[in-house]
Structure 1
Amino acid sequence: MLTGYHVAVIGGDARQIEIIRRLNEWGVQVYLAGFDQLNGSFTEATELEFDSDQVERLDAVILPVSGTDENGCVDGVFTNRSIPLKEEWLSRTPENCMVFTGITNEALTQIVHKSKRSLIPLMNRDDVAIYNSIPTVEGTIMMAIQHTDFTIHGSHVLLLGLGRVGMSLARSFDQLGAEVTVAVHSSKDAARAYEMGMTPLDIETLPLHDLTFDLVLNTVPASVVDASIIKKLPTHALILDIASKPGGTDFRYAEKRGIKSILVPGLPGIVAPKTAGRIIANVISQQLLRSNRKVDD
């Protein structure tokens, strides 16, 4: 399927293991960096040497879902070292080389831009986010069960945000028998929540309402679950913040109030890394095939 392609996988977690496995199955020549603790588990892969001509063959570079840190370095759970993503070697890749990441930051964006290569933040894509919402929902349900002493059925749930993940969360908790209230910004999302049989609220007016919720699920990557909301929650409430770091909850104030609040970004990689890795691998393969590269080796 992808015979003749050359792809480097740099750092990451258990999701990358499934990505590497799939790439090997598809006939890709895989180069690895940041997997030294696996002790050669992938015999068909080659260690990436940044100073060699391997770099000049790469059709794609796959980074972890978390991308790089603020210094442009890549970390992983299978290595004790950080790997710098340098403009010098990235510029030596072919012009059509694509850099895949889950999310990006200023450092990563600048490095890839200066290298004149294409950066593809996968978590910005609708298809990846919607596929990922499946393990995200399962992980959220798991966390809710583990950290409460009541059933989801019959509980009162406040969901902030009705985006790609929020839609799946709303539907699933409703089907489990919860009374779901959805806090949204737009009238369109309010109409959708109403159509789904849930109670819509304007997120800006939340502090004006009686917030006697058992569960608060936040998907908004902004400061939305602040003191004005937390102080109106019952002490038995559980806040699960699913938004990307640093989340949208005032965790310090929640602790002060005695309310349990947990930041749980990246749930797919925690509860179902094999599925999450397969999702990423499939999207990357589609992107490579659409690049219409002529295989000549």
Structure 2
Amino acid sequence: MLTGLQIAVIGGDARQIEIIRKLIELDAKISLIGFEQLEHAFAGAVKEKIDEINLQEIDGIILPVAGTNLTGEVDTIFSNEKIQLTEELLKQTPPHCTIYSGITNDYLTSITKKADRKLVLLFERNDVAIYNSIPTVEGTIMMVIQHTDFTIHGSKTVVLGLGRVGMTVARIFSALGAKVAVGARKREHIARIEEMGLEPFYLKDIETVVKDADICINTIPHLVVTASVISKMPAHTLIIDLASKPGGTDFRYAEKRGIKALLAPSLPGIVAPKSAGQILANVLAELMKEDLQRRKENH
């Protein structure tokens, strides 16, 4: 149980609903910031403004998956008001206060470091990323069906990267009957791709491999689908970029060539917010229980 814990949930999307629900179930007290337009009322959660809460009582702050933007603004779909997270604000919390986010950027890393507060990044955890790859792939399948006039079965599908998302994408598209080629840099990844019964290739050979690609799915968060690569693709190729913003595709050149290229980060929150929220809620609950236990032992 999380009895006695005071948690501030700041902004976010429908995934946060599942997180709030789970933490209330575990008896935590919740302050909801940026939820004025949320019609759902939770017993055990209070809607507040960021300047109204007593930060000295806050044991943890839960940010949306994206954290903040580069100026410290926190996105929320449940409020029109801008919410700003600052170093000064974090310094008002107790020293043990932990900040939970999906990912980080220079701004968020910098203010948590300066305020000397612990920052936990949920998407750097293998368990979260692997569970999240399931709704990501379902969303990818949905997008491919919407934006093509051919079946996935029998299509030449090129997957870039064999990380936690890439592996699930490659396996599921192969199970749907696609002819899957997977590009990687590391020799052990090439071996794993071959072991999976898929066609492996080194990323340096990408231009040759995409010459007959129907679908190209990128999971690598830096520029790999360059103008030169896109120039070798057939005109009907669909590019879906699952890497975090700004993706790994030259979208400007794709548009110039008339090739459809879609940036699709945060697919779990779009296609399956309930499942994606439950994944995060379960991990957050475990982390907070461990944290509470440690603090009790130290006292």
Give the CA deviation at 1:285.
Answer: 0.9
Aligned twin of 1:33: 33
Contact 1:241 1:248 survives alignment (8 Å): yes
Q: Which amino acid aligns with 1:190?
A: I
Aligned in 2, Cα 1:3/1:210: closer, same or farther, shift over 3 Å?
closer
TM-superposed deviation, 1:214: 0.4
Asked if the contact 1:48/1:54 (under 8 Å) is kept, the reply is no
One-letter amino acid matched to 1:268: P
Matched, 1:106 2:106: yes
**TM-score computed with the length of structure 1 as normaliser:** 0.95
- Percent of aligned positions with the same letter in both sequences? 55
Where in structure 1 are there 5+ consecutive unaligned residues? none
2:129 alignment partner, SS class: helix
State the distance in 2 between where 1:210 and 1:276 align.
32
Q: What letter is aligned with 2:144? A: A
Question: Which residue is equivalent to 1:82?
Answer: 82
Q: For 1:56-205, what aligned pairs fall within 5 Å after superposition?
A: 56-205=56-205
Partner deviation per Cα, 1:236-285 (whole Å, 9 max, x = no partner) = 11000000000001111111111111000000000000111111111111
Partner secondary structure for residue 192 of structure 1: helix
Structure 1 counterpart of 2:247 = 247
Bigger shift: 30-39 or 132-141? 30-39
Q: For 2:119, what is the secondary structure of its paired residue?
A: strand
The 3 A distance-change label for structure 1 pair 259 and 29 is same
How far off is 1:86 after superposition? 1.9
Name the aligned partner's letter for residue 115 of structure 1: A
Q: Secondary structure at the match of 1:183?
A: strand
Q: Describe the SS at the equivalent of 1:31.
A: strand
Question: Are the counterparts in 1 of residues 210 and 229 from structure 2 also a CA contact under 8 Å?
Answer: no
Instruction: Give the CA RMSD over aligned residues.
Output: 1.5
Structure 1 residue 128, shift from structure 2 partner: 0.6
> Match for residue 294 of structure 1?
296
1:55 to 1:23, Cα distance in 2 relative to 1, 3 A: same
Return the offset for 1:119: 0.3
How many angstroms apart in 2 are the aligned matches of 1:87 and 1:205?
46
Q: 1:59-93 deviations in whole A, cap 9, x for unaligned?
A: 21000111101111212111112211122231122
Structure 2: gaps spanning 5 or more residues: none
**Do the aligned partners of 1:75 and 1:81 also contact (CA within 8 Å) in 2?**
no
* Cα separation, 2, equivalents of 1:81 and 1:245: 24
Does structure 2 retain, via aligned residues, the 8 Å contact 1:8–1:48? Answer: no
Amino acid at match of 1:12: G
Partner of 2:20: 20
Shift of 1:41: 2.3
After TM superposition, give the deviation of residue 161 of structure 1 in Å: 0.2
**Structure 1's 208 and 157: CA in aligned 2 closer, same or farther, altered over 3 A?**
closer
Task: Confirm or deny: 8 A CA contact 1:51 1:89 kept in the other structure.
Answer: no
Residue range with higher mean Cα deviation, 261-270 or 43-52: 43-52
- What is the TM-score when the length of structure 2 is the normalising length? 0.95
User: Could you say which residue in structure 1 is the equivalent of 2:216?
Assistant: 216
Q: Secondary structure at the match of 2:211?
A: coil
**Cα distance, 1:209–1:157 mapped onto 2, change above 3 Å:** closer
Look up the equivalent residue of 1:35 and give its one-letter code.
Answer: F
Tell me, in whole angstroms, the C-alpha distance in 1 between the residues paired with 2:23 and 2:122.
Answer: 17
Contact 1:222 1:247 in 2 (8 A): yes
Following TM superposition, by how much is the alpha carbon of 1:52 offset from its aligned partner in structure 2, in angstroms? 5.7
Shift of 1:205: 2.2
